[in-house]
A = this chain, B = another copy of it.
Amino acid sequence: MNETVTEDEHVTLINAFIVPVGKEAEAVKFWDKAADFMRGQPGYVSTALHQSILPDAKYMLINVAQWESVDAFKAASKALGTESGIKPLEGLVPNPSLYKVIRAD
């Protein structure tokens, strides 16, 4: 197994969303709008939105995205809030953090 696999500046954003019951479709629509905006930001690499197949998961949606650097992600997040014009979805609670892969096979 590779011990530390990503030495470069790339980081992985993992954002676990608490989704209000009954707002799953709305949450995905909101995410699509935000993803369209983020995709245009410098340093964006890729994303994968995961939806729980279990109805009682704490986090019904989890986004796992790749960014070229911490700074690129931080700038894009700021712009999402100040320039995108996308209004947050009430009750949708994001839990974003940045990660490095330390084990992979």
Chain A contact residues, CB within 8 Å of chain B: 1, 11-12, 14, 16, 28, 31-32, 35, 39, 46-54, 57-59, 62, 64, 70, 95, 97-105
Contacts and interface: CB of A to CB of B under 8 A. Distances in A.
Given A14-B62, A64-B64, A50 B101 contact: yes
Contacts of A53: 11, 70, 98-100
12 contacts: A14-B62, A14-B64, A28-B102, A32-B103, A47-B104, A48-B104, A51-B100, A51-B101, A52-B97, A52-B98, A54-B97, A59-B97
B39 A100 contact: no
Contacts of A62: 14, 99
